[in-house]
Structure 1
Amino acid sequence: MSRMAHQIIEKTALDSADAPRVVLLGIPTRGTTLAERLAERIETFTGVRPPVGSLDITLYRDDLRGKPHRPLERTSVPSGGIDDALVVLVDDVLFSGRTVRSALDALRDLGRPRAVQLAVLVDRGHRELPLRADYVGKNVPTARTEDVSVQLVEHDGHDRVSISDGSGARRSDPEVDGSGARRSDPEEDGKDAR
């Protein structure tokens, strides 16, 4: 997460006087938590905390017929809205790109941002749409049939990225913890993942 926060600061010039207004919008549930963590890190590094909101995409999904209904989450847009802001969408896993496409559709109904960027903790590949993340915690190659699960302390009691095959057998990625840091990175070892 620290590396992603630094990348956002550098790419958006967030620490300069003429920086655009940056808004972090998390895609529920874990994307919203990750957006809060990013905002905390950015504030630690710059003294400026970007506003954080939550963007529910449930009604914009193209797969509602094939899956059980998900409960609606609350969309919350920070005061000041998103018009003319640089919006960073935050999600836990980037896979086919369909969630991001749904988020872009939902965003269009909320206003007109200056630009939209994407931050994800895990990019697992296998895109079905021509999308890519601007900020990635970790690229984790997977088979299409595998499932990637991100667990965060706020929801699951611990930070972990797990990959399971179709049979449900799980393996944790030894290189990633919930902070997006490599476990072998001495700067992050032993520190709180938030």
Structure 2
Amino acid sequence: MPQKAIVLDEQAVRRALTRIAHEIIEKNKGIEGCILVGIRTRGIYIAERLAERIEQIEGAKVTVGELDITLYRDDLTKKTINQEPLVKGSDIPKDITDQKVILVDDVLYTGRTVRAALDALIDIGRPSSIQLAVLVDRGHRELPIRADFVGKNIPTSSSEKIVVELKEVDELDQVSIFEK
């Protein structure tokens, strides 16, 4: 897959996450009753970074959890024809019932991952609200889902692929477009 362009470099990723952190605080009038829940894998790291920025701004910690949506995916049978799905489990250290859950992921595309995450969250508890924060919204929704907080909107064609790389997994921070 040839790389077409780097659309967010390390500084742009940092600025986008700082802006999202401010928007989360503003929309929720602080962080009281908020929990950040990252969708495995890169959503977890983005949620942890948002929590760090929120703590710097507000001077208080926000709870961070991680959500494994493997068993909730609607394409599970396609992805696991010859193997068992690898389930790593969710870890949400606090009851989400009556809390404001901010679901965090790297890329919003068709909306199917978010739908699976909503199902997984509802099985865990009944939040007072669920908000969605994503680093990149690339369009092409198949479900009526939209993000409350977006780092960058990147209109793409279906022949393109967005790749988010984070230091925690990939040793660098950047978002690139590749031609399929």
Quote the offset at 1:73 in angstroms. Answer: 2.1
Matched, 1:161 2:172: no
CA deviations over 1:101-131 (Å, ceiling 9, x no partner): 0000001110000000000000000000011
Structure 2: distance between partners of 1:70 and 1:134: 30
SS at match of 2:40: coil
Q: Which amino acid aligns with 2:30?
A: L
Give the number of aligned pairs. 161
**Structure number with higher helix proportion:** 2
Structure 2: distance between partners of 1:30 and 1:54: 10
Matched, 1:30 2:42: yes
Q: Which residue of 1 aligns with 2:67?
A: 55
Q: Which amino acid aligns with 2:18?
A: S
Deviates more, 1:52-61 or 1:141-150: 141-150
TM-score (normalizing by structure 1): 0.81
Q: Which amino acid aligns with 2:105?
A: D
CA deviations over 1:61-114 (Å, ceiling 9, x no partner): 0001222465212200123x1010000000000000000000000011100000
TM-score (normalizing by structure 2): 0.87
Structure 2: distance between partners of 1:119 and 1:23: 12
**Structure number with higher strand proportion:** 2
Q: Which amino acid aligns with 1:87?
A: V
Structure 2: distance between partners of 1:93 and 1:70: 22
Aligned ranges 1:1-194 → 2 under 5 Å: 1-14=17-30, 19=32, 21-68=33-80, 70-79=85-94, 81-166=95-180
5+ residue gaps, structure 2: 1-16
SS at match of 1:66: helix
Runs of 4+ in structure 1 deviating by more than 4 angstroms, as ranges, are none
SS at match of 1:65: helix
Q: Which amino acid aligns with 2:154?
A: V
Structure 1: distance between partners of 2:159 and 2:112: 17
Structure 2: distance between partners of 1:147 and 1:45: 34
Quote the offset at 1:144 in angstroms. Answer: 1.2
Q: Which amino acid aligns with 1:22?
A: C
